[in-house]
Structure 1
Amino acid sequence: MQSNKRNKNGLKIFVSVLAILVIGILGYVYSIYANVKDTMDTAYTPVEVETFRTTNAGTVVDSSEAADGESRTDVGALTPSELLEAGEPVSILLLGVDTGDLGRTEQGRSDSMVVVTINPHTQKTTLLSIPRDTYTEIVGSGNMDKINHAYAFGGTAMAINTVQKLLDIPIDFYATVNMAGIKEIVDAVGGIAVESPLAFKQNGHAFIEGTNQLDGEAALAFARMRYEDPAGDTGRQGRQRLVIEGVIRKLATAETLLNYQNILETLSSNVQTSFQLSDFYTLQSQDYLGAVGNIEQQQLGGIGDMMDDIYYNFVDETELARVQVLLQAELELE
């Protein structure tokens, strides 16, 4: 009898401890979710741009013309979030801006520009790097200039409009990452490992060909080096992608969970985007997972030359047409 009583008391204690543990875990998970939501709310910065989408029928439709309650059979009438929900191809402009904290008054320039297309139908993601010296029309300024000046002249909206005009595609989403903030982000995740394709020195840091363990300052130097690289700006963009991949890999490890608040705080002060939290969840759905895991790298080519004592990357019509057709096909615009 006494034994049964002890067993019951033991069971009650076990259940109570288990309940407390479960509540604690749920509370921790909720705190992570709440912090992630707060970070996304801080980073979420919509901009007004010349948004358009060419449908398969060849009709150009402004996304703002979509009316609530109407049949959503024409993808040209869908907002970017609705395109994701419908499982349609989308495009993203990634801007690496070299301005210090994003709250500073100096606009700076887009140090790197990458257009991403994600097509769940072909299960393919395409990353197109645009050289920052590319000579093109800066939409809204009335001038021809280096494409990275678009951000300096008119911020994110002008950069998006300029890329849309150059590549003849709509940009559905954007994300800007403060390149100076890369140091803070890398330090927040506890450093990263990258595989350098060459050995070089930059800003007092020496990098070997092969695996390099980088803290924030070293990662920033690694991403910024340009003149010692035989591939020039193309090589620099490749190393920037390596740093970003290194951060993503580190974020996926269990150890970062213990430091997630510091990481989220760092991201919120260095990232701005038109993505909302629900959009990120949709990108993790089964429709898009296969495409995100199948990445093709592309580079907008050109010939570097001087004009009026200024260096530019000049893209000929054949190369521009190649890239336009490729991206339009991935977005199913034809």
Structure 2
Amino acid sequence: MKKVLITLGVVILLIVVGGVSYAYYLYHSVKSTANNIYEPVGNHTTSLSNKKPISILLMGVDERPNDRGRSDTLIYMTLNPKTNKMVMMSIPRDTRTEIAGRGTINKINAAYAYGGTEMAMNTVEKFLDVPVDYYIKMNMEGLSKLVDAVGGVTVYNNISWHDEGYYKKGYYYKKGNIELDGAKALGYVRMRHLDPRGDFGRNERQRDVIMAIVNKASSISSVSRYNNILDAIQGNVKTNLTFDEMKSIAENYRGVKNNVENYELKGQGTKINGIYYFIVGDQEKQKVHNMIMEQLGER
């Protein structure tokens, strides 16, 4: 049976750079899923014809009925097929900045609450003075379903804790390598109050789980698993990547997942009028801007 390279990958599963081999008859299911999750916004897009470096904003949101929610997770990602390198840069949700299109100062995660995906993308662009070509938005409940869809993941946990906070699931996360199903993974990536590093520790756990999903999906050979993955994606993920763009990334950018660099914005936490903010100084913003533009190269 003819095989085809298609992924919904590091980007739909964050699946796009996974480089997974699908049986031919799954092609139409993948295409249908890609079409269903496609949601363009504004002028955010670019051409992949010359295999140039691109940027993608990963957003994890907590959406509920009649409530858009806020972007709990923001990861600015660059994919450079020429250097075969991917950079994942976490932006703390409490980062204080101007909300693009409103002219007000607030936490960066408020941009999504005010103006949805487009305002969130525009705010990140304004904050770092960098382009955002594409986005992938995932409801955090969808992350749990994806972990279950790939059969669970294994990550290295830096600290141990009992989950007795908001969710009160009673899970114990030991230090060292741990196996996570969907429910445990959701608790793992949401926890921050029991971590001395706060948001920094949580952001690291989120990146680790994302890459664990990608790597696990890349090794799956079961058709039933792929059907489960597609089901998990439906209704939980939106992106402005078209099906053809996903194929292009799968074919030309998949090598970047073997060379991943993580970066966390540096700054200082403080309270202003009784509200906690994370302040990123001009020097740090310039440093990050330069780092991103170097990764994006000539465009």
- TM-score (normalised: structure 1): 0.78
Kindly state the Cα deviation for residue 333 of structure 1 after the two structures are TM-superposed. 5.8
Kindly state the Cα deviation for residue 303 of structure 1 after the two structures are TM-superposed. 0.2
Q: In 2, Cα distance between the equivalents of 1:218 and 1:326?
A: 34
Partner of 2:36: 42
Kindly state the Cα deviation for residue 142 of structure 1 after the two structures are TM-superposed. 1.9
Q: Match for 2:279 among 302, 308, 314?
A: 314
Partner of 2:295: 330
> How many residues get paired?
276
Q: In 1, Cα distance between the equivalents of 2:111 and 2:82?
A: 33
- Name the aligned partner's letter for residue 234 of structure 1: F
- Name the aligned partner's letter for residue 275 of structure 1: L
Q: What are the Cα deviations for residues 194-227 of structure 1, in whole angstroms up to 9, with x where unaligned?
A: 2111111223110011111112111100110001
Task: Name the SS for the 2:39 alignment partner.
Answer: coil
Q: What are the Cα deviations for residues 107-151 of structure 1, in whole angstroms up to 9, with x where unaligned?
A: 100011011112223332211110100000000122100000000
Matched, 1:141 2:99: no
Q: In 2, Cα distance between the equivalents of 1:177 and 1:283?
A: 19
Matched, 1:278 2:239: no
Contact (CA 8 Å) 2:150, 2:217: kept in 1 or not? Answer: yes
Gaps of 5+ in 2: 3-21
Matched, 1:129 2:90: yes
Partner of 2:62: 98
Runs of 4+ in 1 over 4 A off after TM superposition: none
Contact (CA 8 Å) 1:189, 1:256: kept in 2 or not? Answer: no
Q: In 2, Cα distance between the equivalents of 1:280 and 1:220?
A: 26
Higher alpha-carbon Rg: 1
Kindly state the Cα deviation for residue 183 of structure 1 after the two structures are TM-superposed. 2.0
Partner of 2:171: 205
- TM-score (normalised: structure 2): 0.86
Matched, 1:196 2:196: no
Matched, 1:221 2:158: no
Q: In 2, Cα distance between the equivalents of 1:262 and 1:96?
A: 20
The Cα RMSD (Å) is: 2.0
Structure having the larger proportion of residues in helix: 1
Partner of 1:109: 70
| Higher deviation after alignment, 212-221 or 142-151 | 212-221
Q: What are the Cα deviations for residues 11-54 of structure 1, in whole angstroms up to 9, with x where unaligned?
A: xxxxxxxxxxx59xxxx9333111101110011111115x5xxx
Gaps of 5+ in 1: 1-21, 52-78
Contact (CA 8 Å) 2:57, 2:132: kept in 1 or not? Answer: yes
Q: Relative contact order (C-alpha < 8 Å, sep 6+): which is higher?
A: 2
Identity of aligned residues (%): 41
- Name the aligned partner's letter for residue 281 of structure 1: K
Contact (CA 8 Å) 1:136, 1:144: kept in 2 or not? Answer: yes
Kindly state the Cα deviation for residue 252 of structure 1 after the two structures are TM-superposed. 2.3
| Higher deviation after alignment, 231-240 or 196-205 | 196-205
Task: Name the SS for the 1:94 alignment partner.
Answer: strand
Q: In 2, Cα distance between the equivalents of 1:290 and 1:35?
A: 25
Matched, 1:165 2:130: no
